[in-house]
Amino acid sequence: MRKWLLIIALSMGTAPTLLAQSAGLLEGRVTDEQHRPLASTTVVLVNRYAKDTAKIIDTDSSGRFFVMEIPFGQFTCTITHVGYQPITRDGIDFTPENSTNDLGDLVMVPAGKMLADITVTARSPTLRIGPDKKVFAVNQSLVSLGGTAADLLQNIPTLQVDANGNVSLRGATDLVVLVDGKRSVIGGGSIVQVLQSIPASSIDRVEIITNPSAKYDASGQAIINIVLKKNTAAGSNGSVAVTGGTRDNYNAAASFNDRNGTINWYGNYSYQHRNTYSNGYQNMTYLLTPSPAYYSDETFPSTTITDLHSAKAGLSFHGLSISGAYDAYSKVRNEWLTVNNLMANDSPALLSTRYNATTGNGNSYELTVDYTHSFRRPQRELSFDADYAHGYTNQLQLYNTDIYNIDGNAVDSTSVIKDSKVGRSRYYNIQLDYKDGPLETGLRSQISTTDNQEWDYNLDHISGKYDPDYSFINSFKSTDQVHAVYITYSRQIKTFSFQVGLRGELGRFNAHLQSFDSTGQLVTEPVTVHTQGLYPSLVLTQKLKGNRQLQLSYSRRVNRPTPGELNPFWDISDPVNYDAGNLHLLPESIHLAELTYTQGPLTTGAYFTQVNDVIKHVQTTPVNDVTMTVADNLPWAINTGLELIGNFHPVKIWDFTANVNVFERINAGDSALGITPTHGLSWNLNVTNNITLPPHLTFQVRTDYRAPELIIQDRYRPAFGVDAAAKYDFWHKKASLSLNGRDIFNSRKWRFFRVSDDLLLDFQRVTYSARASLTFTYRFGKSSAETRTIHTEQQNARIENG
């Protein structure tokens, strides 16, 4: 381990000597009318005849830019900056005799001076595909307005979200979800809580990285990065949005920024009041039970009322950016469970009802400092990032259970269980990145700590007091460290380019589990999961004639078990389904390969994924008519598939984005766990249609279908849904009114059938909050619609060129 860490670290010092001599060089300096430098101005170089983008960079803090390694030929240079009129320089030649071009000082004029009377009607596409990521434009998703990040992800091609809020990509659920490139501690770091806490109106875009390079963390099969809004438009600008929906759902959001020269400060705030309804059933057939009950039918309607506050503010100045965020929530959940136990002849055996009352609250805050230094040497940059986050959760649950016999008389007194959970988490991150032309290298250290305490009590009906239940009381404290070093090198040779990378990670997970044994003695058990490894990545790209491209990528990755997956204590919130973690879980080892072919608006991709030591919750033999699922490692799983994504414009007023994914999943069996080998073919489809009726009206309809799918013990049934929305712009497009409906046919249901040697289980759940909502949005300030269009074009160029 020490050897490869030393080798990669030494490569950082020798990096400059590895750089090859460039073919051509373009330089210049960008200023405003007062000759003040304009940093972060985008410079795009396009081959005049091939019509493809050759290079794209940003100016440094002094407004200077250096474009290196330009192949010989004739180019057009376009320079854009938010709030200013673009500059175009045509006919720039690079030959062996003239390999250097200096454009000198380029003065940008404010956009308002020339664009005030121009109406821009172009609409940016919903989904843009770059060399290493897919980027979804949130402002184009009308059906997500007024919703949360979970609602938004459900409308993104290639992603699926189930009724519990779990996100999957191409059938894989071990994904890493980041917010502004960093892990979030909202709700204790639970992905479901994080997605439900972020309003869709606060999100600028969503990046999906299906095969991350060595520059990214090696965790998970893929990365979903939610980028929040951080307006950088010149002058003072802002927006407010108010949403009202059915079932007493409403939210409000406001954002503001002020940019004067190189100084920009911004802030945003949002409030959500969400009323969520859920209902479903599970019917179980016990095959090998000695008890008289043969069938069990359960229903579980529930309502959850959540209030969330989110605030973020930041300041950027000459490469330095400082920001802070605060989130707070409160939640009240009421669930009514009814369980009918039936004998083999369908005659009733027992009836039980349980009322689960949950109250909870929590908060989190984070601080971030980013600094980027651009050297005078072209394309040489050093960046530093430091983050700290703290999260707190507090939850109290009361379980009231009544059991009746076939005559309707109570079998015994009401069972009342009180369960209290308190969690604290901290997250530290330090990252240093160095870029010198085609070579990038960096170091990163992440440390996260958790302290989860659980106390359980049973009500003594005689004394009226709660007595501790030592069989469930536990404390789980953990420290998770991941230290990494990486290096990547990229090179373009005419129409062929490659990027090769290597990442080394050293992971150390240490925890202490405290609980009581059968004699009432406090017992401490250490937990250790150590990982270390090298994670290579490779990307080969060949540009073809006719705006076509072929790309092959490979990476090796790892998925480490979470504290929740390691904690072996039972979750007893459902009286007939208990779930627990496993102290002895191993991390998953993952191999990813992907081949993509792009021709114009259509991208076709074939992918292969192999996961060893698959982490899954496996059902075990029922005990006293209660099913048990425990996290465990299965030998391996292979997922292969074909994916098509396209954005098409059949006529001027209509465009649509379509995604089809066909895949086969093969799962190895494990006789010790009662798991038989399985394999199955499945597919999913989603289509988003946009109809624009100039000058002010836009319609959007989205449909999705998920075919039947087999995942180890579970056979998922098909699901279909339709969302629709309409938006009307007025007041010179400074204001808009949007009406949307989600799952308008009430057809999205999460359903599966589980088969094992001990049990047959038929499950269904449906969850929704506002089925329809109305949103009013108003934008104010100096940034006009034309300026925003320039910003969109600038961002699109970044996406297409990585």
Give the integer Cα–Cα distance in Å for 756 and 627.
11
Write the pLDDT tens digit of every residue in 321-378. 999 999 999 999 999 999 888 887 777 878 888 899 999 999 999 999 999 888 877 6
The reply to whether 102 and 246 lie within a common domain is no
Q: Are 756 and 619 in contact (CB under 8 A)?
A: yes
Q: What φ, ψ does residue 642 adopt, rounded to 5°?
A: -130, 130
pLDDT at 445: 97
Mean pLDDT along residues 492-508: 92
Please check whether residue 428 lies inside any domain of the structure: yes
Element (H, E) at 5: helix 2-14
Cα distance between residue 87 and residue 520, in whole Å: 77
pLDDT band, very low/low/confident/very high, at 126 (cuts 50, 70, 90): low
Comparing CA positions, the residue from 92, 99, 129, 151 lying closest to residue 800 is 129
Report residue 357 as tokens.
């009352």
What whole-number distance in Å separates Cα of residue 430 and Cα of residue 427?
A: 10
Confidence of residue 787 (pLDDT cuts 50, 70, 90): very low
**Whether the predicted pLDDT of 27 surpasses 60:** yes
Predicted TM-score (pTM) of this structure: 0.80
CA distance 308 to 762: 34
pLDDT of residue 795: 47
Q: Which residue has the tokens 């503010």?
A: 313
- Whether residue 206 lies inside any domain: the answer is no
At residue 723, the pLDDT reads 94
The DSSP bridge pattern shows strands 73-80 and 87-94 to be antiparallel
Is residue 218, in this structure, part of any structural domain at all? no
467 vs 93: which has the higher pLDDT: 467
Contact call for residues 724 and 744 (beta carbons, < 8 A): yes
Lowest mean pLDDT among 509-518, 585-594, 791-800: 791-800
Look-up: residue for tokens 């002849």? Answer: 345
Select from 111, 54, 42 the least CA-distant residue to 79. Answer: 42
Confidence of residue 794 (pLDDT cuts 50, 70, 90): very low
Q: What pLDDT shows up at residue 782?
A: 63
Examine the pLDDT at 258 and tell me if it is beyond 60: yes
The pLDDT value given to residue 65: 87
Quick one: pLDDT band at residue 665, thresholds 50, 70, 90? very high
43-52, 207-216, 275-284, 393-402: the lowest-pLDDT one? 43-52
Label the pairing between strands 772-781 and 735-741: antiparallel
Q: Quick: pLDDT tens for 179-217.
A: 888 888 776 677 888 888 888 888 888 999 989 999 999
Q: Of 68, 93, 115, which closes a domain?
A: 115
The boundaries of the domain holding residue 769 are 235-800
- pLDDT of 166 above 50: yes
Q: Can you say how many angstroms the Cα of residue 106 is from the centroid of all Cα atoms in its chain?
A: 39
pLDDT of residue 100: 83
Q: At 736, list the tokens.
A: 């808009």
CA–CA dist 395, 377 (Å, integer): 55
pLDDT in tens, 519-564: 888 999 999 999 999 999 999 999 888 778 899 999 999 999 988 8
Residue 307 pLDDT class (50, 70, 90 cuts): very high
Measured CA to CA, the distance from residue 287 to residue 290 in angstroms comes to 9
Instruction: Count Cβ atoms within 10 A of the Cβ of residue 163 and give its class: 0-12 exposed, 13-18 middle, 19 or more buried.
Output: middle
Percent of the chain scoring above 90 in pLDDT: 47
Per-residue confidence (pLDDT) for residue 83, from 0 to 100: 67
Among candidate residues 115, 147, 170, the one where a domain is terminated: 115
DSSP state letters, 7-71: HHHHHHHHGGGGPPPPS-EEEEEEE-TT--B-TT-EEEEEETTT--EEEEEE--TTSEEEE-SPP
Distance (Å, whole) CA 341 – CA 623: 14
Average pLDDT over residues 691-720: 91
- Do 630 and 758 belong together in one domain? yes
Residue 594, token pair as written in the block: 């992907």
Same domain, yes or no: 472 and 607 = yes
Work out the average pLDDT over 118-142: 64
User: In this structure, are 583 and 441 located in the same domain?
Assistant: yes
Q: How many folded domains does the chain comprise? A: 2
Task: Give the torsion through C-alpha atoms of 149, 151, 154, 156, to 10 deg.
Answer: -60
Report, as an integer, the average pLDDT of 209-237: 86
Count of other CB atoms within 10 angstroms of residue 137: 19
CATH assignment at residue 69: 2.60.40.1120
**What tokens appear for 254 in the block?**
């406001």
Please report, for the chain, how many H helices and E strands are present, in that order. 6, 44
Is pLDDT of 581 > 80? Answer: yes
Residue 288 has pLDDT above 80, yes or no: no
Q: What angle do CA 220, 182, 445 make, to 5 degrees?
A: 80
Q: What CATH number is attached to the domain comprising 674?
A: 2.40.170.20
Poorest-pLDDT segment among 192-196, 488-492, 552-556, 771-775: 192-196
180 in a domain, yes or no? no
Cβ neighbours of residue 6 closer than 8 Å, sequence gap 6 or more: none
Let me know: does 727 contact 698? Beta carbons within 8 Å.
Answer: yes
- % of the chain beyond a pLDDT of 70: 88
Residue 122: predicted pLDDT: 41
Beta strands in 126-198 (DSSP E): 127-129, 134-137, 159-161, 167-169, 176-179
The residue among 525 and 12 whose pLDDT is bigger is 525
In the chain, what is the straight-line distance between the N-terminal and C-terminal CA atoms, in Å?
Answer: 32
627-641 pLDDT tens trace: 888 999 999 999 999
Residue 486 binned pLDDT confidence (cut-offs 50, 70, 90): very high
The token duo for 65 is 């830019």
Q: Identify whether 250 is part of a domain.
A: yes
For residue 503, pLDDT beyond 90: yes
Assess if residue 211 is contained within a domain. Answer: no
The pLDDT mean for the chain works out to: 85
**Which of 95, 115, 135 is a domain's end point?**
115
pLDDT of res. 21: 40
Which range of 19-23, 42-46, 415-419, 426-430 scores highest in mean pLDDT? It is 426-430
Greater confidence (597 vs 6) lies with: 597
> Is 169 within a domain?
no
Percentages (nearest 5) of helix, strand, coil residues in the chain: 10, 65, 25
Q: Give the pLDDT of residue 23.
A: 65
Does 686 reside within a domain?
yes
Q: Residue-wise over 695-713: b if at least 16 C-beta within 10 A, else e?
A: eeebbbbbebebbbbbbbb
Show Cβ contacts of residue 493 under 8 Å, excluding neighbours closer than 6 positions: none
Question: In sequence order, what are the residues at sequence separation of 6 or more whose Cβ sits closer than 8 angstroms to the Cβ of residue 783?
Answer: 82, 83, 231, 233, 234, 235, 237
